[in-house]
Amino acid sequence: MIIRKLFKFENAHVVRGCSTQRCRASIHGHSYKVEVLFESKYLDHGQMVYDFGLMKQGMKELIDSFDHAVAIWDGDDGEYIEAMKAHSNRWVMLPVSPSCEQFSRVIFLMLDQLLQSTQMINGERGVKLNSIIVHETETGYAQAFSEDAYSDVMGNIPLASIGFSDEVRQGWSDSGLWEKVLSGEKFLNPATV
């Protein structure tokens, strides 16, 4: 069975190297919708694949990190990077260009790492991330599956090279959330919902 949870965020970016002049040469924004799809062949003690309420913790906080932020590719021009950091309190540094496709891969990797570090305590079994769908516009989206997120052909995305501004971190219930995700520290599910 597959379940789906929808998240939303507003974000600005420049997608260098794309075909469209407006997108590759001017900072612009989108109202993103992110669909998180989980799957399992089993149901927990509440007869659910995965309680939607559990997604309001770390998963929502990580996705919300992109809200009202500038997504910056660490391979962009140094002056541009420094200007974005100087003029925006909320930014996310990515090791890939912030295209819709790469957003879906990055978010997949972030949430997959968090899910793998989660200790289930309500009878959840076999829960895995099926895919991430990122809607950049009403008519266009990218969907990443595990084979896309972990694809060397599409480019390796080292999670440790993703960085968040101080203001983004201050919005988390635990300012060390990202370091805990990276280290594989166990998260108890549910902590308190």
Number of H helices and E strands in the chain, helices first, is 7, 9
Q: How far is CA 161 from the centre of its chain?
A: 14
Is 135 considered catalytic here? Answer: no
Is 23 considered catalytic here? Answer: yes
Angle (CA) 10-13-19 rounded to 5° is: 125
Give the number of other CB atoms < 10 A from CB of residue 29: 12
49 SS3 class: coil
Distance CA 52, CA 50 (A): 6
Give the number of other CB atoms < 10 A from CB of residue 156: 11
From the list 13, 23, 35, 61, the catalytic residue is: 23
Cβ–Cβ < 8 Å for 159, 109: yes
Distance CA 78, CA 128 (A): 38
From the list 61, 136, 167, 185, the catalytic residue is: 136
Is 18 considered catalytic here? Answer: no
Structure tokens at 129: 């991330």
From the list 30, 45, 68, 124, the catalytic residue is: 68
- Residues near 21 by beta carbon (within 8 Å), at least 6 away in sequence: none
Q: Which residues pair with 109 in a beta bridge?
A: none
Q: Which residues are catalytic?
A: 23, 68, 136
